[in-house]
A and B are shown apart, each in its own frame.
Chain A
Amino acid sequence: MPSRRRTLLKVIILGDSGVGKTSLMNQYVNRKFSNQYKATIGADFLTKEVQFEDRLFTLQIWDTAGQERFQSLGVAFYRGADCCVLVYDVNVMKSFENLNNWREEFLIQASPSDPENFPFVVLGNKVDVDGGNSRVVSEKKARAWCASKGNIPYFETSAKEGINVEDAFQCIAKDALKSGDDEEIYLPDTIDVASSSQQRSTGCEC
């Protein structure tokens, strides 16, 4: 079976406008937070080298605009994704309720070969705000939703304080890598339509 693995892992960050997608990406890649980031228009990505088991991978992290109106652009950006990160703001109920829409929209537009097992990771961001007093989505509620969608790994983060960001992206990268394993990039000798039915564990061991 395949031995040549991909070295580029593509990750898409989705979520309502203002939940902190750009901030999370920058915190992870550049280890800094600025409150002068602009609202994202169109899309952009940052890359970071990650190492697993003595091998180097390039994590390509795509940051897209959160406003619903721009979603028709998704087709061009979601294609070929290995993992999708869904972000909400623990202080904004609506951003949590919208996770389902984001997930579904992603599956429609990216149309991964195995939607059931496509890896998602959910981040509840801005846990630092007001010492947690203004939060409206409980961790329990969020975890319950993640469990109902096939055990999506869940992290509570603060892009501002750098809480849990590294861990979350470690998991994201791992999941992306596993997803990448399923797809081959070389041509088999014969038609091989069965091999994509390999099982991949959902969830994340980290």
Chain B
Amino acid sequence: MHETELNDLSDDADYAASLQQGSASMTRSDSSRRSSSSEPDGAEVVYLKDNVTIHPTQYASERISGRLKLIKQGASLFITWIPYKGQSSNAKLSERDKNLYTIRAVPFTEIRSIRRHTPTLGWQYIIVVLSSGLAFPPLYFYNGGVREFLATIKQHIFLVRSAEDANVFVVNDFQDPLQRTLSSLELPRAVPVANGRSSSLSASESPTDKNQVRADGVAVDGSLSSIQNNGRQRQKMHDPARDLSIHVLEKFSLVTRFARETTSQLFRENHSEGFGGNERRNHSQSSHDYHQNAASIDVEKVPDEVPVAPDPLEKSPCSNRGEEAATNVGTFELIDSKEIDKLTVWGKPRQPPLGPEEWATFLDSEGRVTDEKALRKRIFYGGVENNLRKEVWTFLLGYHAHDSTYAEREYLVLIKKSEYETIKNQWQSITQDQAKRFTKFRERRGLIEKDVVRTDRSLSFYEGDDNPNVNLLRDILLTYSFYNFDLGYCQGMSDLLSPILFIMKDESESFWCFVSLMERLGPNFNRDQNGMHSQLFALSKLVELLDVPLHNYFKQNDCLNYFFCFRWILIQFKREFEYERTLRLWEVLWTHHLSEHLHLYVCVAILKRYRRKIMGEQMDFDTLLKFINELSGQIDLDAILKDAEALCICAGEHGAASIPPGTPPSLPLDTGLLYAQQDDEVL
């Protein structure tokens, strides 16, 4: 069974006991015993369920099981989900990885809704959606109990089933303004524990002796600790200032009808500025040496107006967008100049693209790539000449194996061609009459047809009426939707296919290269948007690691969902650069040199370039989204790639640890049901 080991977060004794009981029964003695070590005073566990599991990837070996609890303290209800210690069957899943997903005492005031999925086949699961719009990954109830879970919540807070969707339960959604106001009054009471989400419920020894406060009185931000320590070294603090602000909040909420919104706004601000400091001071210095060096360019909070402390990576606001002359290209100064050790990392200068002669040196006489790693590295720094792409991309995408010979590849191409024809024939043989009774097919085809005529039509390769290449896009996408019927077609796929067809020209070859690409990026298009959420989540962790002030700014301005980067990630910056530049970026990303997730560092690099503008102009969510959308065509790719490289090196293993396992485009390790949970969608 699961081995247990002691730590300050878990409740392994309980866990072992409950394993024997095999049920979620909860006794008073359990909670009182626990309260001495981990639960805050007066907190009561009102619901407990073991073997509630998340599936970060589609691989069974990477699932993380844990214990789900509802905890009541005063009038507030909290949800926690703590992964079991030391139970992982997979060494790849470090404790750190698990801790990424840990849900620490999130108050229901921060929860917007809970969506329940109770498929007839397979496990029941829930998705908890936060007010911010972010969602936790699906929690699978291996032992059932979703209904009981919801019933318990209902006993303690106001939970209504959505009139529109019987599987959605909306939290605190009062139609009646009076109730609404009343509910908001509960919010301040939630503050002490909410703020101490890390502290109250995971309290341990007092680390006061390790306090780390900078001389200027600004606490060194311990954001990394959320990855590293996960509250182990935090403690419950009784800060009078905090209590005072809670008091003010309470007063404030009495006088306004819109207390709910306003209070949560205030709450967020206080949470990040005032309360955060308590937390920050509690981290041991040793665990933050790296962090201070790498990320604390400027830990002061962002003032309400300019000036914003400059970041060496950012784009000077007075220089023209898209021009690099004015900035210190590729330099990344990692620390505040006030700090002692100066550490500077440079992204290496870009090289000319790989040409035919050099390419020949990578191949042996029979056509095998002898040094795959060297090849990837070479392409990482310079890309590939256009006329070589058709050949080289097949390796980068994993369609052809590096150790395959010319002859083997020729053979494979033939086999694959007939395989493609077979799948294509499946939909081609659907007669008009048959299609009349095949709604799913008609709708899917309709969606694809609508999208291919809107894909890169200004490019000569796709322009004009009745362009045969547009028809090829349609045929390949429709065939793909039969190849992977569960995933089907989703908008954005035509953007991903377009450059591939443009390079490969051949229909079957394009299809198989697209299949390879979708093995990595398919989760971007999952119905539950899991792949996107995990990438946006990882991005927020990376910004937190690499640019604390910017992270705090996003936090204060309700931008932590990073939806403004959605398009970047979904289609790999396809709409952000000129066509040729996109090809270059993609081949660099596909090398997986340094990181599989370089694209996330590219996001950070772009954000850092414009951080002064973003913070200086006090952009709110809307303005930021518009700003980001309009950056399209303005970004200097080479400069950004250099920055991204530097950031990736700086972040090192801490960066890697910020990215949950299985975050796209992580390559599959074994096969399984990839898109199993999508049966409830038409397309």
Contact = CB atoms under 8 A, between A and B. Distances in A.
Interface residues of A, number: 45
Contacts of B415: none
A170 interface: no
Interface in A69-121: 69-70, 72-73, 75-77, 92, 94, 104-105, 107-108, 111, 113, 115
Nearest to B255: A187
Contacts of A56: none
A1 interface: no
Interface stretch (A34-42, A160-168, A173-181): A34-42
A197 B564 CA distance: 35
Nearest to B164: A104
A129 B622 CA distance: 35
Contacts of B446: 18, 92
A195 B181 CA distance: 13
Given A104-B164, A108-B168, A70 B257 contact: no
Contact of B447 (A17, A42, A60, A197): A17
A38 B528 CA distance: 24
B248 to A, nearest CB: 14
B529 A72 contact: yes
A128 to B, nearest CB: 17
A65 interface: yes
Given A108-B164, A193-B257, A45 B443 contact: no
Nearest to A106: B164
Contacts of B495: 38, 41
Nearest to A114: B175
Interface in B160-179: 162-165, 168, 170, 173, 175, 177-178
Contacts of A194: 177
Interface stretch (B290-298, B389-397, B565-573): B565-573
Counting chain B CB atoms within 10 Å of each CB, which of A45, A72, A195 scores highest?
Answer: A72
B138 to A, nearest CB: 12
Counting chain A CB atoms within 10 Å of each CB, which of B168, B561, B563 scores highest?
Answer: B563
Given A188-B256, A190-B255, A196-B257, A39 B494 contact: yes
A108 B162 CA distance: 7
B203 interface: no
B525 interface: yes
Interface string B539-576: 00000000000000000000001011011001100010
A15 to B, nearest CB: 13
Contact of B527 (A60, A69, A108, A184): A69
A60 B683 CA distance: 31
Contacts of A60: 622
B626 A45 contact: yes
Contacts of B621: 76
Band of interface residues on B: 35 or more
Contacts of A144: none
A45 B624 CA distance: 11
A107 B170 CA distance: 12
A64 B682 CA distance: 20
Interface string A24-50: 000000000001111101111100000
Interface stretch (B23-31, B320-328, B448-456, B607-615): B448-456
Nearest to B179: A193
Given A75-B112, A105-B164, A113-B177, A44 B455 contact: no
A69 B529 contact: yes
Contacts of B112: 75
B447 A67 contact: yes
Contact of B490 (A67, A75, A187): A67
27 contacts: A17-B451, A18-B451, A37-B454, A39-B451, A41-B491, A41-B566, A41-B570, A41-B575, A42-B566, A42-B567, A44-B625, A44-B626, A45-B622, A67-B491, A69-B526, A72-B135, A75-B129, A76-B621, A92-B446, A104-B165, A108-B165, A108-B168, A108-B170, A187-B255, A188-B257, A191-B255, A193-B178
